[in-house]
Amino acid sequence: MTKILIPNEKSIGERRVSATPETVKKLKKLGCEIFIEKSAGELSGFKDFSYEENGGIIFDDADIWAKADIVFCIKTPDNEKLKKLKEGCFIIGMLNPFGNKDLAKFLSDLKLSAISLELLPRISRAQSCDVLSSQANIAGYKSVLLAAGELDRYFPMLMTAAGTVQPAKVVVLGGGVAGLQAVATAKRLGALVFVSDIRPAVKEQVESLGAKFINLPEIEEKPAESGGYAKAVSSKFLEEQRQILSKHLSEADVAICTAQVLGKKAPILINEKMLENMRAGAVVVDLAVAQGGNCVHTKPNETIIKNGVKLIGASELPGSVPYHASSLYSKNLISLITPFINKGNLDINKDDEIILGCLISDKGAILQEKVFEMGGSN
C-alpha cells in the first residue's frame, strides 16, 4: 500500500497544504495510506479532524518520514526532513531546482526521486496537473486587489454629484496565466487596462477581455516561444520595448508585473528612468520579484516607496489565498498521480511524456542536469 506523506510547511513559511480532506478521500479510494503532519492544513482552513474523517492519519512523530513512498509538498522540505526519507522515495512539489546545485547533490546523496512541478510539459493532457497555472491565476487576481487597496484613487469611472472620477489606468506586463487573470480582475473593477507581452498570440486573448494590447517593437528579431513558454529576447528588443512602455507607464496608476522566462532572470521592464517618470501615488505590484523582478528596486515580500511610487514585491500571493490555492494545488497532484496508482500500488511510468518532463531525480540519478545550472542572466 503506497504511503503518502503530507508535511506541515508552516516552519518554511508556507500557508498552503498539499492535500485537503477531499483529496485525501480520493487518495484513500485509490488504495493509499495518507499521513498528514499535525496541523498541516490549519492555515488553509482544514482541521486535523476533517482529514481523519476522510481516512487520513494525523502524525506528530518525525520518524514517520522514513515510511513514506511519496511526499506531496508545496515547497522542498528542509534538509533534516529529507534526510529521514528512505531511498527511492518520491518528493513531488514545486521544488524550485533552477540553479540549485545543492538540491541536486542532496537528492543524489540520499538516492531520492523527485518530480519538480515547475517543469511539467505544457501539453493538453497535463493541463489538469498544472500547478503553475492554478497558482498563477490566484496571484494575478490577488495582485489587482492588492493594488486597488494601496492606490490613492478609485478603479472604476464614477459620475457623482461632486464630479466625475476617471477610471484608473492599469498596465499589465506579461499576459500569461497571471497576467490574463489580472486583466480580467482589473476590468471587473472598472479600470482601463493595457498589456505588453512578447508572444503575439496574447494580443487576441487580451482584446477578448476588453483590454488593449501594446504593440511589440518593430525590429527584425521576432520573439520565440517553446513548449508554451516565451524565450528570452535580446537586450536590443528589451530596450525598444522599454521605450514603448515608457509613455504608458508615465500615465499609469497601477503596473502589474508578471513577465517571466522559465529558468531565467525576469526581464527588467521598468528601469530607473521609467520609475522616475511614474506619477507619485502609483502602485507597482511585481509578481516576478522572486526571479529578480520586472521593476528595479522591488524586493520579495517588501513594500518600498520610491519617488512616491509604491513598489510591492509580491512573491507569495498564492499563499495569501490558502484555502483555494491548496484546494486547486492538491487536485493538480491527484490528476498527476492517479494514472500511476493501481489498487494502492505505485508504478510511475518514467517514459510517460509528463513524467519525463518533470522527473529531475530517479533514485538519486540526476536526470536534468541543465535545470540545476539554469537561473542565470537574461
Span between the terminal Cα atoms of the chain, in Å: 46
* Nearer to ligand NAD (CB atom), residue 107 or residue 132: 132
Find the catalytic residue in 50, 229, 246, 279.
229
Q: Produce one character per residue of 26-53: b if its CB has 16 or more CB atoms within 10 Å, e if not.
A: bbbebebbbbbbeebbebbebebebbee
203, amino acid identity? K
Residue nearest to ligand NAD (CB): 176
* Nearer to ligand NAD (CB atom), residue 21 or residue 293: 293
Q: Least CB distance from residue 194 to ligand NAD, whole Å?
A: 12
Find the catalytic residue in 130, 197, 253, 286.
130
β-partners of residue 255 are 171, 284
Residue with cell 518554511: 12
* Nearer to ligand NAD (CB atom), residue 100 or residue 196: 196
Residue 199 is a catalytic residue: no
| Residue 206 three-state SS | helix
Q: Least CB distance from residue 290 to ligand NAD, whole Å?
A: 11
Residue 229 is a catalytic residue: yes
DSSP symbols for 122-141: --GGGGGG-HHHHHHHHHHH
| Residue 196 three-state SS | strand
* Nearer to ligand NAD (CB atom), residue 154 or residue 213: 213
d(CA 298, CA 257): 11
Cβ neighbours of residue 219 closer than 8 Å, sequence gap 6 or more: 236, 237, 240
Residue 130 is a catalytic residue: yes
| Residue 373 three-state SS | helix
Is residue 51 a contact partner of residue 36, using CB atoms and an 8 Å limit? yes
Q: Least CB distance from residue 264 to ligand NAD, whole Å?
A: 9
Q: How far is CA 76 from the centre of its chain?
A: 14
Residue with cell 502602485: 283
Q: Least CB distance from residue 308 to ligand NAD, whole Å?
A: 25
Find the catalytic residue in 44, 113, 133, 135.
133
Residue 368 is a catalytic residue: no
* Nearer to ligand NAD (CB atom), residue 165 or residue 356: 356
Residue 122 is a catalytic residue: yes
d(CA 112, CA 357): 17
Which residue ranges make up the site for ligand NAD (CB under 6 A)? 122-124, 126-127, 130, 132-133, 136, 173-179, 196-199, 202, 228-230, 233, 241, 258-262, 267, 269
From start to end of 307-358, where are the E strands?
A: 309-313, 341-342, 345-346
DSSP symbols for 307-335: TTEEEEE-S--GGGSHHHHHHHHHHHHHH
Q: Least CB distance from residue 177 to ligand NAD, whole Å?
A: 4
* Nearer to ligand NAD (CB atom), residue 68 or residue 182: 182
Q: Least CB distance from residue 205 to ligand NAD, whole Å?
A: 7
- By annotation, the residues acting in catalysis are 122, 127, 130, 133, 229
